[in-house]
Amino acid sequence: MKKILILTVLMSLLSCSSSSSEEPRRPAVSGAFYPADEARLKEMLNGFLADVRKHDIEGRILAIVVPHAGYVYSGQVAAYGFKQLEGRKVSSAILICNSHTARFPGIAIDGYSTWKTPLGLIALDKEIGDKIVRTDSIFQYNSPVHERDHTIEVQLPFLQTVLDGDFKIVPMLFGNSYDDSYKKLAQALADNLSKEDIVIISTDMSHYPSYEDANKIDRETLEFIKGGDVPGLEAHISGVKARNVPGEDTVCCGIDGIKTIMELSNILGGEIEILKYANSGDVEIGDKSRVVGYSSVVIYIPEESDKKGETIMSNEYLNKKEKQKLIDIARASIIEAVAGEKQAGIEVTEERLKENCGAFVTIKKHGQLRGCIGYIIAVKSLYETVKDVAKSAAINDPRFSPVSKEELDEIELEISALTTLKKIIDVDKIEVGKHGIYMKRGFNSGLLLPQVATEYGWDKETFLEHTCMKAGLPATAWKDSSTEIYIFSAEVFSEKEVQ
């Protein structure tokens, strides 16, 4: 009898943890965190949203960060984030938080077929779930840890209210191991999500300090989040804990979700904007002596970067006339810098040359490198960038003496227009001949353009090793998890090619 009982329990546990369940996951906190009555819930949500103005975001919204307390405390702040999604058609929403009811290794993806709220049923996207589970053993289907957790559930009525039409969800909970799992999740999301998907990060901020302390600490936290600085955020949280701020228990309860979206933003070249901050002391029933902080944040891919990431490396991005104009600008800049001879201004009317873009100018003499300088990040228009870096390549490359006036007729120019940087974890993403590599660890960094590997006939590992050495790092530093690796593509053309 005892063996039968144990077997029954095991079978029950296995069935709960399977990747699919026909029964819906039922609300755990309706009637407590938010109204269980459909009409009252709709009235409350519409009231929150009516009091919020949609920000003018020039780009594709990748994710929002929203709080998960009871609606009477944090609902109005959450509305700032959800307002950004109002009227949008979404295929799937990936909802992420740290578990608030359990500790377990890895990341738990819910295996139910649907979740139920007072506003109806929402189907789960098993296709995305399966893809992510296959990427690494840290991802597991685990429904039981989701059953009583409120952090994802409270976001669903908002989504059902603001989104246009049906959508699916992928609920995900970190097991509070506080390791580097967030990096693997960020990469999995970068590899598997479409532009029709959205990420929802669920987190509250400071837990239980005074109103004044929460305002100070949380606004500092948000600055690190806005900057995409994961190490800085971790150091900030450690510093807050070390100060023993009275009442401060947790600086950010969904920290792994926050780090995931910061990492994903860095991978995809996103921007982070803070929409709203408040805490429980700001509501009428709040107690300012002991508060919880709330924020709404939006993460987006700027229109320019989104478009450029798709088109800049196509053969049609720069036509021959545009390439020739950039070569002319580069040579005129070098002549002015080297010979001191003022050159006639070159009028730029082409819109593509006015778009912000990173670029390098390479100077060669008799086929040998004579100078190479560039901007990795798109800080200026393409033509202004080319003008600046051409001059620097001629007179400021520390590896060479300045180009002389006598050499001007002997040098040949090559221009590389760059896409935005994309952070990677898996070096298998690198395609030799297509991608350049930017390597960074601590204060050391180095870059090699895509054509370098081709010119020297390097394989992928050799290319990685030489990029490490260019950064002043050991050749094997690319294998170290603390080394950040970015890839980019480039449209490369030489003076001879455009004549």
> Could you give the CA distance from residue 160 to residue 163 in angstroms, rounded to a whole number?
6
Q: Which of 395, 416, 437 is the endpoint of a domain?
A: 416
Residue 429 amino acid letter: K
Looking at the fold, whether 174 and 195 belong to one and the same domain comes out as yes
pLDDT at 309: 47
Same domain, yes or no, for 179 and 283? yes
Task: Note whether 385 and 486 are same-domain residues.
Answer: no
Within a domain: residue 77? yes
For residues 464 and 436, give the distance between their C-alpha atoms in angstroms, rounded to a whole number. Answer: 10
Q: Are residues 249 and 356 in the same domain?
A: no
pLDDT in tens, the chain (499 residues): 333 333 333 333 333 344 455 789 999 999 999 999 999 999 999 999 999 999 999 899 999 999 999 999 999 999 999 999 999 999 999 999 999 999 999 999 999 999 999 999 999 999 999 999 998 999 999 999 999 999 999 999 999 999 999 999 999 999 999 898 999 999 899 888 989 999 999 999 999 999 999 999 999 999 999 988 888 899 999 999 999 999 999 999 999 999 999 999 988 888 999 999 999 999 999 999 999 999 999 999 987 655 544 444 444 568 889 999 999 999 999 999 999 988 888 999 998 899 888 899 999 999 999 999 988 877 789 999 999 999 999 999 989 999 999 999 999 999 999 887 888 888 988 999 889 999 988 888 899 999 999 989 999 999 999 999 999 999 999 999 889 999 988 889 999 888 7
Is residue 468 included in any domain, yes or no?
A: yes
Clarify whether residues 161 and 286 are in a common domain: yes
Distance CA 232, CA 226 (A): 11
**Do 280 and 141 share a domain, yes or no?**
yes
For residue 136, the tally of other CB atoms under 10 A from its CB is 15
Phi, psi at 329, each rounded to 5°: -65, -45
Quick one: how many helices (H) and strands (E) in the chain? 16, 17
Give the CATH number, domain containing residue 359.
3.30.700.20
In Å, how far from its chain's centre is CA 113?
A: 28
CATH number, domain containing residue 269: 3.40.830.10
Residue 335 domain-assigned (yes or no):
yes
* Amino acid identity for residue 101 in this structure: T
Q: Is 466 part of a structural domain of the chain?
A: yes
228: left (phi > 0), else alpha (psi -120 to 50), else beta?
Answer: left
In a shared domain, residues 128 and 146 = yes
Q: CA dihedral defined by 312, 363, 487, 266, rounded to 10 degrees?
A: -80
208, 239, 243, 258, 277 from 216: Cα distances, Å: 13, 13, 13, 19, 11
Range of the domain at 338: 312-416
Q: What is the pLDDT of residue 7?
A: 34
Looking at the structure of the chain, the number of domains it has is 3
Question: Within this chain, do residues 281 and 318 fall inside the same structural domain, yes or no?
Answer: no
pTM: 0.66
